[in-house]
């Protein structure tokens, strides 16, 4: 295939992870190796930055900043949840691409973002505009199909499992009294993150916390919940619970809504599912409970990131550029797990349309029959993903994180009136 000369554009979309910027660092680093890539641009806030022609020159960023991206949470380029809807918006994207001679587009995101990338790619083909589009997988939710797992997942479960192991020491030491402790984690439609808490259990000590894990995959029953808590308290004296925010009942309705409803006086009526379970424990089991909600902290906790995850995220960014230069387009980078016992990975490729239309569910046969714990198949799958720690430079006692200079590329088009 003939070499395609032109500029590249990198964007980020959807909720950030601890390692999404590592992917961007990987893509930038690799792009510098290829003479066919002339300018390395970023779009601010995903496709919104393309529509508004808000492009920045990533080659102007210092090498130190690019290195620091590898452990900076958030989406350094800015992100968005905007889904291109109208044909007019897609046309505008291509107009901007043509004006800036964008020939390579790398988009890091989840299902919706890969769908957007796919549609941009197809419109370019229709118009006979040569463009190579490669998606970079990103999501703490681990729900993208085809890929063995998603960059971002290993770090979030390393943080959650670390927190559970630490909180367990605290709870255990209060040991003289019944105490129920609840930690609410993210996961609106799947229990991938809550399942990760099971890694906190040491292999030799089956009664280690977390004692009960409530997953969106298992219909919630108040009666069973009360029995579960009573059983654990009888045996262990304290009970540690992890719950995914998207817990549903037998009818598929959310057990608690995380967004506060307020009455006429502005009083919050309902907290998240953690507070809901706390209420159940106090009213129906009759013992004191405490709840914590890790919230955004869990997807931003780069201080506790997995070295394996960070390496895979960086590699995914690198691979995206490599394959595009070789002529590949309309694909997402995937992570392939090696066959050997010792964990290895390499990157692969999947059609963007396969990613856009699929969801990877937590396999039900990885959940034990009790419905509140994970079996060895899950542990075998997830444990390699949290291996290794990353030493992060600190300034005055806190992580020294990257901020891009964001040097704007001159606009060449009239403002978008969308």
Interaction with a copy of itself in 294-333: which residues (CB under 8 A)?
A: 294-297, 299-304, 306
Could you tell me which residues are beta bridge partners of residue 262?
268
Distance, in Å, from the CA atom of 134 to the CA atom of 137, rounded to the nearest integer, reads 10
Based on CB atoms, which residue is closest to a copy of itself, 254 or 348? 254
Based on CB atoms, which residue is closest to a copy of itself, 80 or 372? 80
Greatest Cα pair distance, the chain, in angstroms, is 73
CA 212 to chain CA centroid, nearest Å? 24
Report if residue 85 touches a copy of itself, rule: CB under 8 A.
no
- In whole angstroms, how far apart are CA 133 and each of 309, 321, 323, 325? 23, 10, 10, 11
Based on CB atoms, which residue is closest to a copy of itself, 72 or 334? 72
From candidates 35, 85, 86, 269, binder to a copy of itself by CB under 8 A: 269
- Mention every residue, 6+ apart, whose C-beta is less than 8 A from residue 273: 184, 214, 243, 244, 245, 247, 254, 255, 256, 258
Report if residue 272 touches a copy of itself, rule: CB under 8 A.
yes
Distance, in Å, from the CA atom of 58 to the CA atom of 353, rounded to the nearest integer, reads 29
Size of the site for a copy of itself (CB under 8 A): 82
Based on CB atoms, which residue is closest to a copy of itself, 145 or 271? 271
Burial class, 125, CB count within 10 angstroms (exposed 0-12 / middle 13-18 / buried 19+): middle
Q: How far is the CB of 316 from a copy of itself (least distance, A)?
A: 19
Q: How far is the CB of 79 from a copy of itself (least distance, A)?
A: 5
Nearest Cα to Cα of residue 313 among 398, 216, 211, 385: 385
Report if residue 13 touches a copy of itself, rule: CB under 8 A.
no
Q: Residues 364 to 383: which contact a copy of itself by CB under 8 A? A: 383
Report if residue 158 touches a copy of itself, rule: CB under 8 A.
yes
Q: β-strand 394-395 against 398-399: which pairing, if any?
A: antiparallel
Q: How far is the CB of 172 from a copy of itself (least distance, A)?
A: 6
| Secondary structure class of 367 (helix, strand, coil) | strand
Q: Tell me which of 141, 143, 208, 228 is the catalytic residue.
A: 141
Q: Residues 237 to 256: which contact a copy of itself by CB under 8 A? A: 256
Based on CB atoms, which residue is closest to a copy of itself, 88 or 260? 260
Q: Which two tokens stand for residue 106?
A: 């790398």
Report if residue 335 touches a copy of itself, rule: CB under 8 A.
no
Q: How far is the CB of 169 from a copy of itself (least distance, A)?
A: 3
CB distance 38 to 58 below 8 Å: no
Based on CB atoms, which residue is closest to a copy of itself, 202 or 364? 202
Distance, in Å, from the CA atom of 104 to the CA atom of 258, rounded to the nearest integer, reads 39
Q: Residues 136 to 155: which contact a copy of itself by CB under 8 A? A: none
Q: How far is the CB of 101 from a copy of itself (least distance, A)?
A: 26
Q: How far is the CB of 220 from a copy of itself (least distance, A)?
A: 13
Q: Stretches 139-147, 260-268, 319-327, 366-374: which one binds a copy of itself (CB under 8 A)?
A: 260-268
Q: β-strand 289-293 against 132-137: which pairing, if any?
A: unpaired
DSSP code for 376: H
Q: β-strand 37-43 against 55-57: which pairing, if any?
A: antiparallel
Q: Stretches 3-11, 166-174, 242-250, 359-367: which one binds a copy of itself (CB under 8 A)?
A: 166-174
From candidates 292, 359, 407, 413, binder to a copy of itself by CB under 8 A: 292
From candidates 99, 268, 412, 413, binder to a copy of itself by CB under 8 A: 268
Report if residue 122 touches a copy of itself, rule: CB under 8 A.
no
Based on CB atoms, which residue is closest to a copy of itself, 8 or 304? 304
From candidates 76, 197, 243, 367, binder to a copy of itself by CB under 8 A: 76
249 is catalytic: no
- Mention every residue, 6+ apart, whose C-beta is less than 8 A from residue 143: 110, 111, 150, 189, 190, 192, 359, 360, 361
Active site residues: 141
């Amino acid at each position: 295939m003939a070499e395609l000369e032109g500029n590249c554009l990198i964007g980020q979309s959807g909720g950030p992870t601890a390692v999404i910027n590592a992917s961007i660092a990987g893509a930038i680093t690799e792009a510098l190796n290829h003479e066919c890539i002339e300018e390395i641009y970023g779009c601010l806030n995903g496709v919104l930055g393309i529509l508004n022609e808000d492009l920045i020159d990533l080659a102007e960023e210092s090498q130190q900043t690019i290195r620091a991206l590898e452990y900076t949470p958030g989406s350094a380029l800015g992100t968005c949840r905007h889904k291109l809807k109208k044909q007019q918006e897609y046309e505008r994207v291509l107009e901007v691409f043509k004006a800036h001679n964008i020939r390579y587009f790398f988009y890091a995101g989840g299902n919706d973002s890969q769908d957007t990338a796919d549609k941009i790619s197809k419109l370019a083909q229709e118009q006979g505009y040569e463009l190579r589009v490669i998606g970079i997988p990103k999501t703490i939710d681990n729900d993208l199909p085809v890929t063995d797992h998603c960059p971002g997942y290993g770090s979030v479960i390393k943080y959650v499992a670390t927190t559970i192991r630490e909180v367990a020491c605290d709870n255990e030491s209060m040991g003289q009294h019944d105490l129920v402790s609840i930690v609410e984690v993210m996961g609106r439609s799947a229990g991938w993150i809550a399942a990760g808490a099971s890694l906190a259990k040491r292999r030799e000590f089956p009664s280690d916390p977390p004692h009960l894990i409530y997953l969106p995959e298992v219909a919630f029953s108040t009666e069973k919940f009360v029995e579960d808590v009573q059983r654990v308290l009888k045996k262990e004296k304290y009970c540690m619970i992890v719950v995914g925010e998207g817990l549903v009942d037998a009818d598929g309705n959310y057990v608690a809504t995380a967004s506060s409803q307020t009455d006429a006086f502005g009083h919050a009526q309902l907290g998240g599912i953690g507070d809901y379970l706390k209420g159940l424990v106090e009213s129906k089991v009759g013992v004191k409970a405490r709840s914590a909600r890790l919230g955004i902290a869990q997807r931003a906790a780069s201080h506790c990131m997995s070295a394996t995850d960070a390496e895979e995220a960086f590699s995914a960014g690198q691979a995206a550029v490599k394959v595009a230069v070789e002529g590949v387009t309309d694909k997402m980078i995937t992570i392939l797990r090696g066959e050997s016992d010792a964990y290895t990975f390499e990157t692969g490729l999947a059609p963007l349309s396969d990613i856009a239309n699929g969801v990877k569910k937590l396999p039900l046969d990885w959940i034990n029959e009790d419905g509140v714990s994970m079996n060895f198949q899950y542990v075998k799958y997830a444990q390699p993903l949290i291996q290794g720690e990353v030493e992060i430079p600190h300034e005055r006692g806190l992580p020294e994180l990257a901020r891009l200079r964001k040097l704007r590329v001159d606009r060449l088009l009239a403002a978008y009136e969308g």
